[in-house]
Amino acid sequence: MSHSGNPAPATARKSENLKGTVRIPGDKSISHRSFMFGGLAAGETRITGLLEGEDVINTGKAMAAMGAKIEKVGETWIINGTGNGALLAPEAPLDFGNAGTGCRLTMGLVGVYDFASTFVGDASLTSRPMGRVLNPLREMGVQVQSADGDRLPVTLHGPKTPNPITYRVPMASAQVKSAVLLAGLNTPGITTVIEPIMTRDHTEKMLQGFGANLTVETDAQGVRTIRLEGRGKLTGQVIDVPGDPSSTAFPLVAALLVPGSDVTIVNVLMNPTRTGLILTLQEMGARIEVLNVRNAGGEDVADLRVQFSELKGVSVPADRAPSMIDEYPVLAVAASFAEGKTVMDGLEELRVKESDRLAAVARGLELNGVQCEEGETSLVVHGVPGGKGLGNRSDGQVKTHLDHRIAMSFLVMGLASEHPVTVDDARMIATSFPEFMDLMTGLGARIG
């Protein structure tokens, strides 16, 4: 399993005027799905802009272990897929490292096949709940062997003929929705997913692009009914992956917090299910100009010009959580420098991310002098404009719990706080944003 060796602490120090134009690596959600659907579809899929982080590479390895041919020629990943329904039994356990998305979606994709597949991961992934995906798979006829509490390692064995189900997703989770739909790809008949609260819709859009017969109906209350016809043909596609808005969040918030900054971030995915952070920061008074809005491969994309801004605390409504779920840690950092308090509600899903992000953020803020209140599903942050007194004078280290976004969020904090901020381990940043250190130091950030 990955991340062997010793933890690598990193420290960020007060910086001045971050400046420059940067391009963020490809979106993680779309990159995972590009490897999965390309690996499954008949014929050739060509991908540019793919995120080459550890999480996505593990998905690529899993698809290769199940029969997909994957190679990189120049800047393009070329995949020859098996054809829908024709994945091969993996000979060894599939190791997803730190990646919940790769693991959970692949459980859906291959779990319904009439052979055994075993899933393993690192300490973080092994501690995360898998029942949310295993339960609908059980309903489809999949036999499950799992460690206590439906944790990894998990072995799945599908039935001769999987049973198409209608599944109402009990929590706001794109991973659960997607796992059921992907299981539906190799299930005869119509698999239906009912999604009461909309989450990122990359699976739906991309499956349609690959030729799946998938429809979405949204009722007056916003409840979505997604129907997928199983065992249809998927055909290879050409995909240009736009920049990841969740990775964009780090240089973006850094530019807002470091006085004198003026940073442009190009080619950012602006799918409305992913833009909650930008909306919230704009409500806080952030100067973010959305430029050159365009459509690329069925997705909205734009360039963002971000300038230093004096922020004000706001109340973030609970129903915004799905569209900024991975961005709460860095929003909490932005809120630490805002005037007044910022209230965030509806955070229950933060407890089951790569770490318990709600607790990890609260402990990290406290360590660095920020007053905050952690509720069961909420966080209140009391800001200190200018960051006076924030950071850590001694050698206190933020505990990152193998969570890349906790590491990057607190490194952003250290760029604007009076004292440095140190994180206990920066290795995990490579799971989603291997270029983070170089990109940030290139803008003038003092991190090392």
Q: What is the set of active-site residues?
A: 326
Establish whether 353 is an annotated binding residue.
yes
Strand order in the sheet with 238-240: 69-73, 76-81, 43-48, 238-240
Establish whether 357 is an annotated binding residue.
yes
Contact call for residues 85 and 66 (beta carbons, < 8 A): no
Q: Of the candidates 190, 202, 183, which has an alpha carbon nearest to the alpha carbon of residue 137?
A: 183
List the structure tokens of 60: 């690529």
Nearer to ligand S3P, 200 or 227 (CB): 200
106 scored as a contact of ligand S3P (CB under 6 A):
no
204 scored as a contact of ligand S3P (CB under 6 A):
no
Beta bridge partners, 295, equal: 300
Q: Of the candidates 361, 411, 403, 352, which has an alpha carbon nearest to the alpha carbon of residue 3?
A: 403
Q: Which stretch binds ligand S3P (CB under 6 A): 167-175, 210-218, 287-295, 365-373?
A: 167-175
Distance of alpha carbon 200 from alpha carbon 333, whole angstroms: 24
CA distances 104 to 128, 135, 167, 315, Å, are 11, 12, 16, 32
* Minimum distance, C-beta of residue 174 to ligand S3P, in the bound complex (Å): 4
Give the total of residues touching ligand S3P (CB under 6 A).
Answer: 10
Contact call for residues 240 and 49 (beta carbons, < 8 A): yes
Task: Report which residue type is found at 299.
Answer: E
Distance of alpha carbon 41 from alpha carbon 187, whole angstroms: 16
What would the x/- binding string for ligand S3P be over residues 309 to 338, using CB under 6 A?
----------------xx------------
Nearer to ligand S3P, 95 or 244 (CB): 244
Q: Which stretch binds ligand S3P (CB under 6 A): 1-9, 170-178, 297-305, 358-366?
A: 170-178
207 scored as a contact of ligand S3P (CB under 6 A):
no
Distance of alpha carbon 338 from alpha carbon 26, whole angstroms: 30
Establish whether 19 is an annotated binding residue.
no
Q: Which stretch binds ligand S3P (CB under 6 A): 148-156, 174-182, 218-226, 409-417?
A: 174-182
Q: Of the candidates 278, 344, 335, which has an alpha carbon nearest to the alpha carbon of residue 312?
A: 335
Q: Of the candidates 80, 91, 143, 86, which has an alpha carbon nearest to the alpha carbon of residue 109?
A: 86
Nearer to ligand S3P, 14 or 405 (CB): 405
Residues 250-289, interacting with ligand S3P (CB under 6 A): none
Q: Which stretch binds ligand S3P (CB under 6 A): 75-83, 168-176, 287-295, 436-444?
A: 168-176
Contact call for residues 133 and 176 (beta carbons, < 8 A): yes
Number of residues that this document lists for the chain: 448
* Minimum distance, C-beta of residue 417 to ligand S3P, in the bound complex (Å): 26
Out of 15, 34, 80, 175, point to the residue binding ligand S3P (CB under 6 A): 175
Establish whether 128 is an annotated binding residue.
yes
Distance of alpha carbon 296 from alpha carbon 299, whole angstroms: 5
Establish whether 432 is an annotated binding residue.
no
355 scored as a contact of ligand S3P (CB under 6 A):
no
349 scored as a contact of ligand S3P (CB under 6 A):
yes
Out of 2, 101, 187, 248, point to the residue binding ligand S3P (CB under 6 A): 101
What would the x/- binding string for ligand S3P be over residues 119 to 158, using CB under 6 A?
----------------------------------------
Question: Which residues 6+ apart lie within 8 Å of 119 measured at CB?
Answer: 93, 94, 96, 103, 106, 107, 152, 153, 154, 155, 156
Nearer to ligand S3P, 268 or 416 (CB): 268
Establish whether 303 is an annotated binding residue.
no
Which runs of consecutive H residues, i.e. helices, occur in 322-444?
A: 328-335, 357-367, 404-414, 436-442
Residues 215-244, interacting with ligand S3P (CB under 6 A): none
Distance of alpha carbon 206 from alpha carbon 209, whole angstroms: 5
φ, ψ for residue 87, nearest 5 deg: -60, 150
Residues 60-89, interacting with ligand S3P (CB under 6 A): none
Establish whether 294 is an annotated binding residue.
no
Residues 5-64, interacting with ligand S3P (CB under 6 A): 29
Establish whether 72 is an annotated binding residue.
no
Establish whether 100 is an annotated binding residue.
yes
Q: Which residues are annotated as a binding site?
A: 28-29, 33, 100, 128, 173, 175, 326, 353, 357, 405
Q: Which residues are annotated as a binding site for phosphoenolpyruvate?
A: 28, 100, 128, 175, 357, 405
Residues that bind ligand S3P (CB under 6 A): 29, 101, 173-175, 178, 200, 325-326, 349
Q: Which residues are annotated as a binding site for 3-phosphoshikimate?
A: 28-29, 33, 173, 175, 326, 353
